[in-house]
Structure 1
Amino acid sequence: MEKSRKVCVDIVEQILTQNAYSNIVLRNVLNKSNFEDKDKSLITEIVYGTIKYKYTIDTILSSYLKNGIKGIDTYVLNILRTAIYQIRFLDKVPNFAAVNEAVEIAKKYKSVGASKLVNGVLRNYLRNLDKVYYNKGSIVEALCFNYSFDKWLVKMFIDQYGMQRSEEILKGLNEKPAVTVRVNNLKGTYDEAFKTLCEYGYNIEEGYVCPEAIIINKGKSIENNPLFREGKITVQDESAMLVAPSIGVKEGFQVLDLCSAPGGKTTHISELMNDNGMVRAFDIHENKLSLVKNNAKRLGIKNITYNKMDAAIFNKDLEDIADAVLIDVPCSGLGIIRKKPEIKYTKEIKGVKDIIKIQRDIMSNASRYVKVGGVLLYSTCTINKKENEDNIEWFLKEFPQFSIEKLYYGNMKNFIYNDNGSVTILPNKYMDGFFISRLRRIR
């Protein structure tokens, strides 16, 4: 097992020390490996778990390291982090195995001295499994430790949502995300896709809220499945699946998607239009447009054009031409932490504030492309109200030629129907945290 545990440390090192994206580096490493499926599953569990609970793990480690975690070699620190995760959160890994493997990795890849440090810290932790590492009198500290979030983020959620709902959010952001796929109506029916996935041995169920969604509970990588390769299904979170239907597109529409990559929402729009009319995909990064093209090609979609463009800079050629404009704007990404747990630690309050100006610049510019009677659809994958409801309130004051239209998706426990007509989706097992608002140009 040393090799798989060593791979876990290597991946965590890349993510936490070199700022690599967890989903990308994990996929790349596992795709190139010859590990069995059970080992790949364990590696995935340890990597995501260690990143997810980094705050908690570092709090624990700080109490057993004389100079705290800052004075320790990062690789040794990540050996300790992965070991603490296994001991504290994984019942299927015996404590002695986690300790012994960690000590051996430190000895083989660092030094004898490092192995002694790792051994001492871990055995000291095992002797104090009932120790409390936070101030019991502080609810904020308890939430930070139990759910592993920095204080600024916990305080922000409490300020915006109150104590009870904030704890639900923290719990939801720590859920292991379900894999969901969207059925492509251009290449077959929902029932056909559902039946075929069952025949391939997948444990599946109908979507949580979206009629196009199928939840994959168990089965091999969906991207290697013939249905995926043939473009009959595509992977997409159910929160993101709500965006395209919210626009209300029709065949023959001209739709602009100003922040289109990687193309999940763009292609969904085309599917809803039966590949009729025109969908114009834009992105500020030209290389990312290839992702949209590849998705569209696999799905058999032909009504999309692709152009590099900054969504915040006015393009005279697009003025007043669109039946609908989608702006899935850059955001803090706080709603997708369950899929990219490193977001917990890569974001900071200043960065969150800075991005609001970019969002408002895009909103202002996009409004000029919508024809009278057309729709501007605003969405984010964050649950920070300042990027969501506050931006909509600002926009309606600055652009009185637009009015908001209420959205409704059903009476789901994790849906908040805001007073201004927008919808906030709280994270849970099935859905990312998300925000959607539909704005109509009335004059």
Structure 2
Amino acid sequence: MKINTRRSAFLVISEIENKKNPNADTLMEKYHRTLKDPKDRKLFVEIVHGVLKFKNLLDYYINFVATKGVKDKRILNVLRIATYELMFLDRIPEYATVDEACSLVESINKHQKGFVNAVLRNIIRKKDEIEKALERVKETNLKDFLSIKLSYPKFLIEYLEQSYGLEKTIKILEFLNTKPLQSIKINTKKIDREDFLKKLELNGYKYTLAEENSEIVYILSGNIKDSDLYREGYFYFQDLASSLVVKWNKEDFESAGAILDLCAAPGGKTFNCAEITKGFIISCDVNKSKVDLLRNNLVRLGFDNVVPAQSDATILNEDFIDKFDIVIADLPCAGFGTIRKKPDIKWNKTLEDIESLHELQLRILDNAAKYVKDGGIIFYSTCTLGHKENEDTAKDFVKRHKEFSIVYQKTIFPDEYQCDGFFIAKLRKEGKEEA
């Protein structure tokens, strides 16, 4: 591995940990662009995501041999990267991992080179001993063991256990530690499914189809965003779970005259609607740059029935009142369902965040309730897991708005559907509440 690949990974992990840049995707993209070799780029993503996914487990190994701990976070992050390689990347020789870690640490604090060398060589030598010690933790405290082995904060394990039970929680967390494939949605407004699949094959892409939605394609290798297929607007990026809001309620969206997507970025559900509705869509986001990106994608994809708009969903828009047959409310959430793609989420959310997000969701839904015509529908969704932001939000909403009822609600469990964790609630407005 080239040292600049390791250095880039080190800089990203350190900055995420210091919370200097909370947008991990943007930060990774910045460094990703500096690596010209596709193999270096792939390895960079592997290391960053791997360290963030398994931080607790890596720290257990490091602290087992460095019994006084590692006080300098910079040195700790070098050790995390090297320990991840030793544990998970068999194709890199152990001696190369140690040597390159020592080279990297020399540029940070040359006096720590001997310490880093000793820690890593002890991890290699004591691997079996460390694994046996971890098994003893399992015998004495299962939650502590899971927090280390699966590498999640203990509060998150206990939070999900309250909603789904421990056995189901373990299955969810194990799946969220797996590597996601590139997931794309065919733009059926421009090309039918069979023709698109033929183009994929002609361009050398291997793929598989999602069972729940055959217009969702998993790309098995290669960066398809760099292809002419992307530039020509034949597809857009979307996870299976997100696509099911429209897929499972196709008749509602086909017949709707006016649809509002309240928090649209990056735009997947707006594009789903644009493919099938006979009406029009107003697609909103609070962030101007995201609205601009949405507008550019609409041009690329060839949709002419969408009006992008900058709008804050937390502020009542008088122009929207009683105007829409359907409001899509895919709202801010903790994002626990997306940990496969954004492992830093594990470490930057708290129980207090979950509570405040629940309240924010209700505030936005209060506005959405005013935008829907009588007989209309709110599709409330999140990309998170746990009852507080999902079932409890839907339940509290209909308590506050007696004119609404829950038609159905469903959690899309990632381990069952092999996609992001997701929640959908269909809320129908039966009519104005009588005085």
TM bucket normalised to smaller: over 0.9
Which amino acid counterpart does residue 313 of structure 2 have in structure 1? A
Question: What is the CA distance between 1:20 and its match in structure 2?
Answer: 4.5
The one-letter amino acid paired with 2:412 is I
How far apart, CA to CA, are the structure 2 residues paired with 1:215 and 1:305? 29
Q: Corresponding residue for 1:115?
A: 113
Which shifted more, 189-198 or 74-83? 74-83
Alignment equivalent of 1:437, drawn from 406, 425, 429: 425
Answer whether contact 1:180 1:236 (CA < 8 A) is retained. yes
Give me the whole-angstrom Cα distance separating, in 2, the residues matched to 1:54 and 1:99: 19
Which has the higher mean CA deviation after the structures are superposed, 388-397 or 26-35? 26-35
Partner letter of residue 309 of structure 2?
Answer: N
Query: How far apart, CA to CA, are the structure 2 residues paired with 1:3 and 1:322?
Result: 52
Give, as a single letter, the amino acid of the residue that structure 2 aligns with 1:77. Answer: L
Tell me how far 1:142 sits from its aligned partner.
1.5
1:411 aligns with none
Moved more, 58-67 or 282-291: 58-67
Q: Contact 1:337 / 1:343 at 8 angstroms: preserved in 2?
A: yes
Kept after mapping to 2: 8 A contact 1:245/1:269: no
TM-score, with length taken from structure 1:
0.91
Residue matched to 1:410: none
Residues of 2 paired with 1:157 and 1:251: CA distance? 37
User: 2:115, 2:362 → 1: CA distance?
Assistant: 51
Classify the secondary structure of the residue corresponding to 2:414. coil
Q: Secondary structure at the match of 2:271?
A: helix
Paired AA for residue 193 in structure 2: Y
Contact 1:172 1:426 in 2 (8 A): no
Deviations along 1:50-69, whole A, 9 cap, x unmatched?
Answer: 11111211232233335424
Per-residue deviation, 1:401: 1.2
Give the drift of 1:246. Answer: 4.1
Shift of 1:222: 1.0
Distance in structure 1 (CA, Å) of the matches to 2:114 and 2:275: 59
1:327 aligned onto 2:329: yes
Indicate the residue corresponding to 2:303 in structure 1.
301
Letter in 2 for 1:228: Y
- Give 1:331 deviation, angstroms: 0.3
**How far has the Cα of 1:135 moved from its partner?**
2.0
Rounded Cα–Cα distance in structure 1 between residues aligned with 2:373 and 2:248: 18
**TM-score for the superposition, normalised by structure 2:** 0.93
Whether the 8 Å CA contact 2:54–2:151 is kept in 1: the answer is yes
Q: Is the 8 A contact 2:213 2:247 kept in 1?
A: no
Q: CA deviation at 1:19?
A: 3.7
Q: How far is 1:324 from its partner?
A: 0.4
Q: Which position in structure 1 is the counterpart of 2:212?
A: 209
- Which residue matches 1:316? 318
What's the offset of the Cα at 1:8?
2.2
Aligned pairs for 1:216-231 (under 5 A) are 216-218=219-221, 220-231=222-233
Q: Is the 8 A contact 1:177 1:338 kept in 2?
A: yes
Partner of 1:283: 285
Partner of 2:410: 423
Equivalent pair of 1:203/1:217 in contact (CA under 8 Å): yes
**Contact kept in structure 2, 1:260 and 1:282, CA below 8 Å:** yes
Shift of 1:441: 1.1
Q: CA RMSD in A?
A: 1.7
Could you tell me which residue of structure 1 aligns to residue 261 of structure 2?
257
* 1:34 Cα offset (Å): 1.8
Name the aligned partner's letter for residue 390 of structure 1. D
**8 Å contact 2:354–2:388 — kept in the other structure?**
no
SS at match of 1:325: strand
How far does residue 211 in structure 1 lie from its aligned partner after superposition?
2.7
1:184 is aligned to 187
* CA positional deviation for 1:6: 2.3
1:59 aligns with 2:67: no
Mapped to 1, the partners of 2:22 and 2:318 lie a distance apart of 38
The equivalences for 1:85-234 within 5 A come to: 85-107=84-106, 109-130=107-128, 131=130, 132-133=133-134, 135-136=137-138, 137-218=140-221, 220-234=222-236
CA distance in structure 2 between the aligned counterparts of 1:310 and 1:269, rounded to whole angstroms: 21
SS at 2:11's partner residue?
A: helix
Hey, what's the Cα distance between the residues in 1 that align with 2:211 and 2:24?
26
- Tell me, in whole angstroms, the C-alpha distance in 1 between the residues paired with 2:207 and 2:10: 32
1:181–1:236 Cα contact (<8 Å) kept: yes
Q: Deviations over 1:169-195 (max 9, x none)?
A: 111111101211111111010111111
Q: Aligned in 2, Cα 1:305/1:203: closer, same or farther, shift over 3 Å? A: same
**Does the Cα contact within 8 Å between 2:56 and 2:149 map onto a contact in 1?**
no
Whether 1:270 and 2:274 are equivalent positions in the alignment is: yes
More helix by share: 2
CA drift of 1:110 comes to 1.9
1:309 Cα offset (Å): 2.0
1:222-275: CA deviation from partner (whole Å, max 9, x where unpaired): 1111111111111110001112234521256100111111211112111121xx
CA shift at 1:352, angstroms? Answer: 1.3
- Does the 8 A contact of 1:181 with 1:215 survive in 2? yes
* Residue of structure 2 equivalent to 1:349: 351
Aligned residue number for residue 15 of structure 1:
16
Match of 1:313, SS?
A: coil
Q: How does 1:15-94 map to 2 (within 5 A)?
A: 15-17=16-18, 18-35=20-37, 37-69=38-70, 71-72=71-72, 74-94=73-93
**Residue 155 (structure 1) shift:** 1.0
Q: How does 1:358-373 map to 2 (within 5 A)?
A: 358-373=360-375
Give the Cα separation in 1 of the matches to 2:323 and 2:109: 66
Runs of 4+ off more than 4 Å = none
AA partner of residue 441 (structure 1): K
Q: What CA deviation, in whole Å up to 9, does each residue of 1:338-376 have, x standing for no partner? A: 000000001111111111110001111101111011111
Residue 416 of structure 1: aligned partner: none
| Cα distance change on mapping 1:22 and 1:10 into 2, 3 Å | same
**Paired AA for residue 236 in structure 1:** Q
User: Is the Cα contact below 8 Å between 1:8 and 1:43 reproduced in 2?
Assistant: yes
